[in-house]
Structures are given as structure tokens and as C-alpha cells.
């Protein structure tokens, strides 16, 4: 994936807020989402974020802002979900990105008075909707959701709590471990969900009980959005894998730990994971992330990938330096507390390796499928991507900046994930946020027969 004029860090937009310090959505980003005017019954439709505004792609297309392949892509992206755009593939995605960047760029236009906008730019200006005046929806019709387990540091932190002598499962260093997740409870930032009930086996007990989760946790992850799919029985080669990825969003894989410990073996999570998963509303395209690709390495004394998971290209630029933070806002607190921060570049397996391994057995991915990266933790103590790691299973609760502490989440807690990329000589681009709030569990009488 080569860099072009859309990545130029000196490029500025006539949308002034795109240049604000620390802004998530400069002209080098241009992420996609689904929105409608706040409080309205308008149809949901596709848009692109620029500064504090949204370009309504349907309105821009109707005003003649695009032509050729970019027009076809804009028409698909203007729908209530982005799946049609995803299915068109990298050439269409790039054409629309280029057209948007050309129409949003600041600068004099030959033949027009100073300060006047070219026709494409004027069409885009007329299609702007303030983000503050918009509601956001899940941007995809997600057919399947696969959650991976690909952070060595997370696996070691959790494994040492369980079995200090044998923290890693035998397969972890040989393949990107994953399980099939639940789509029906995927939600967009702002999701509010009830604390789940489930079976729990207390230490020393001889029988489980049904009760509300007492060890509710978050997991800091990325959502990898599949663009073009692959036919059943046709694996995706490693060096072609990123052509099948449209972009990345933030993802919080909420987890009920006490329920998980009882139900986990032999088939993996069930009630512990199926009650809520929160995604950020904006999908940052893989093209926008190209300047932040970095080499991927595997320690020489570790098992090296099998040939289908190995390539020079993956070694040279398979990792992504996406900075990530977790913040906690207790109900009624005066300010939020930063719990941890890390980078996706620490991940043991790359996005391309996840896609290739997912398809090696013949699985058909579809446009709009989501792959969870697995909890993202780094090597330092403050880089843990889940409370169970930070609090050592609740035994050493994390201290909050606003006062108090947390071993696990309380009712009313809001967890906020944030992400961005920055590097010397590059524009800073962000992901927005994934925000979710824990509500009290249903009362026991609400679970009985009606």
C-alpha cells in the first residue's frame, strides 16, 4: 500500500476544524460511518468525517460531487449500511478517498475569485452536517463476528494468574487463536447494557448458582472490518490478505469473568461474551493507516510461523502503530480516570495473519464481517487492556484519578476507548471513541416465567 497525495501531512482542508490541535479527523483521515440528524426519523445514510463535520455522501453525490468509479462508490456508501461499498474493493475505495480529498483540500482555484470554492468543493460544503447534530448507527450489517486472542502480553498476564508455571496454551505461539462471537448484541458507541446473569461456580462450592455477574470487565480491542470476501474453499494468501480489509474501528469486548471461568472449558466463552460488544461509529480505512505500518517481528527464540503465515511483506510492514487508551467515568464522578495506554504494534499476530488463518480451512468471509483483534496489552504494567490484568484478578484494585478504585466494573460505570496514530512528519489521525455504560442487572423476579 503506497503513500500518495492524500497522506501529505501539509495538506489542509477548508473545513477549519479539521486542523484543530488533537483533532481526530483531519483531511488525511476521512473515515466512514452511518448517521442521521439527531432526533429525526430520517433514513440512516453514509457519511465521511472531516473535522467536526460529516459529509453526507448521498447529498454530495446528488449535487454532482463525484464521477466515474468514485460516483459508484459514493452511491454504495450513501446507503443505510456500508456493505455495498465494502464489496466494491480497493480500487473503488481509493477512487472515493481521492475525490473527497481533492474536494476538501484548501487552496486557491484557478479561474475563481480568491476564497471561492470549486464546484466539487461547493457540493461538499452544501452536504455538511455537524457531528454535534447527528446520531450515529452501527455502520455495518455484520454477518459474522470472530474474536481473536493475539496479544502475547495479555495471554501471559492472564495465564500467570491461572497457572504461573504454564501461562501459555500450547497452540498460542503457532496460530492466531479465535472463537466465533455473537452478532445480535453488537452496538455502537453510547451502548448501554444490563449487567448479565449467568451460572457461577464459587470457590469451594459443589454446585453452580445463577446470579448477576460479579466480575464485569472490559477488553480493549480493535474491530477489523472485512471488505471484499472470498469464496468458500478459496483461502486468502498472506500477501493478498490486506486487500480484503476495508478498515479498523475500536471495539470493547465486554466480559463477565466469573461466568467465563465456569463455562469456558471445553468449548470457550458463551454467556460471558454474548451480552454486549461496543464498536466506535467511524471506520478508519486501511489506506488512511498506511503511514503507520511498521515492521512485524517474532523473537528468534520463539516458534516461527508456518509457511502460510510467513512472508517478507508481512515482516516488513505487517504491524500497525495504533496508540490506544482506556478511560473510566464512574457515575456521578467529576472527571474520568485513565486506566491504561498501549499500542497495537505489540500484537503477536498481524491483521494479515488473522485473515489468512481464518480462511485457510475454506471459510468464506463476507463484506461487513468483523474480526476482533483480541485484547491489546503491552509489555509494561500500565499497558494492560483489561481490568483483570490491571487489578491482578481484583486483588490489587486499580486506583482512580477521581478517587476510589476498581477491581471490576460497578453499575453506572462508563468505559471509553480512544485510539489514534501519530508519527514524526505525519498527520495525527484518530478513531473517535467507543463508549459503553453498565446498567444494573435485571431483578431476579424479572427472570421468572411470564
Length of the chain: 450
Query: What is the rounded CA–CA span in Å between residue 312 and residue 83?
Result: 31
Inter-residue contact 306 to 174 (CB < 8 Å): yes
Of 264, 262, 270, 354, the closest CA to residue 308 belongs to: 354
**118 Cβ neighbours under 8 A, 6+ residues apart:** 103, 109, 112
**Backbone phi and psi for residue 435, each to the nearest 5 degrees, phi listed first:** -115, 130
C-alpha cell at 142: 455484520
CA distance 413 to 394: 16
DSSP readout, 48-116?
EEETTEEEEHHHHHHTT---HHHHHHHHHHTSSSSHHHHHH-HHHHHHHHHHHHHHHB-S--TTS-TTP
Catalytic residue, chosen from 7, 154, 244, 346, is 154
Confirm whether 154 is a catalytic residue.
yes
Tally of CB atoms within 10 A around 300 = 6
Task: Calculate the alpha carbon distances from 229 to 84, 138, 161, 304 in Å.
Answer: 12, 20, 39, 28
Q: Which residues are known catalytic residues?
A: 154
Amino acid at each position: 500500500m503506497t503513500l500518495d497525495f492524500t497522506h501529505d501531512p501539509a495538506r489542509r482542508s477548508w473545513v477549519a476544524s479539521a486542523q484543530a490541535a488533537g483533532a481526530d479527523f483531519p483531511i488525511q483521515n476521512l473515515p466512514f460511518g452511518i448517521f442521521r440528524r439527531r432526533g429525526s426519523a430520517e433514513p440512516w445514510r453514509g457519511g465521511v468525517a472531516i473535522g467536526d463535520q460529516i459529509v453526507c455522501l448521498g447529498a454530495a453525490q446528488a449535487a454532482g460531487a463525484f464521477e466515474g468509479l468514485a460516483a459508484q462508490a459514493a452511491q454504495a456508501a450513501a446507503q443505510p449500511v456500508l456493505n455495498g461499498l465494502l464489496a466494491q474493493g480497493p480500487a473503488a475505495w481509493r477512487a472515493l478517498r481521492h475525490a473527497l480529498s481533492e474536494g476538501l483540500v484548501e487552496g486557491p482555484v484557478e479561474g475563481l475569485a480568491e476564497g471561492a470554492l470549486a464546484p466539487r468543493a461547493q457540493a461538499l460544503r452544501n452536504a455538511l452536517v455537524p457531528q454535534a447534530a447527528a446520531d450515529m448507527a452501527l455502520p455495518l450489517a455484520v454477518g459474522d463476528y470472530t474474536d481473536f486472542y493475539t496479544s502475547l502480553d495479555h495471554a501471559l498476564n492472564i495465564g500467570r494468574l491461572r497457572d504461573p508455571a504454564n501461562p501459555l496454551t500450547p497452540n498460542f505461539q503457532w496460530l492466531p487463536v479465535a472463537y466465533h462471537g455473537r452478532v445480535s448484541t453488537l452496538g455502537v458507541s453510547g451502548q448501554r447494557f444490563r449487567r448479565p446473569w449467568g451460572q457461577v461456580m464459587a470457590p469451594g462450592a459443589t454446585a453452580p448458582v445463577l446470579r448477576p455477574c460479579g466480575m464485569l470487565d472490559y477488553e480493549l480491542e480493535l474491530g477489523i472490518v472485512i471488505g471484499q470476501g472470498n469464496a468458500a474453499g478459496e483461502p486468502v494468501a498472506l500477501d493478498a490478505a490486506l486487500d480484503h480489509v476495508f478498515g479498523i474501528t475500536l471495539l470493547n469486548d465486554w466480559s463477565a469473568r466469573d461466568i467465563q471461568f465456569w463455562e469456558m472449558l471445553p468449548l470457550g466463552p458463551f454467556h460471558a461474551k454474548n451480552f454486549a460488544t461496543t464498536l466506535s461509529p467511524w471506520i478508519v480505512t486501511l489506506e488512511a493507516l498506511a503511514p503507520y505500518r511498521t515492521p512485524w517481528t517474532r523473537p528468534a527464540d520463539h516458534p516461527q510461523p508456518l509457511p502460510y503465515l510467513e512472508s517478507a511483506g508481512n515482516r516488513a510492514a505487517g504491524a500497525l502503530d495504533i496508540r490506544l487508551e482506556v478511560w473510566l467515568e464512574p457515575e456521578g464522578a467529576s472527571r474520568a480516570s485513565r486506566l491504561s495506554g498501549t499500542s497495537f504494534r505489540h500484537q503477536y499476530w498481524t491483521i494479515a495473519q488473522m485473515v489468512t488463518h481464518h480462511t485457510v480451512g475454506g471459510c468464506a468471509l463476507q463484506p461487513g464481517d468483523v474480526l476482533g483483534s483480541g485484547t491489546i496489552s503491552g509489555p509494561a504494567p500500565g499497558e494492560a487492556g483489561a481490568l483483570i490484568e490491571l487489578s491482578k484478578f481484583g486483588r490489587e484494585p486499580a486506583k482512580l484519578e477521581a478517587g476510589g478504585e476498581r477491581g471490576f466494573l460497578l453499575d453506572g460505570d462508563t468505559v471509553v476507548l480512544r485510539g489514534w496514530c501519530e508519527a514524526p512528519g505525519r498527520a495525527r489521525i484518530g478513531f473517535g471513541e467507543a463508549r459503553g455504560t453498565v446498567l444494573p442487572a435485571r431483578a431476579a423476579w424479572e427472570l421468572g416465567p411470564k
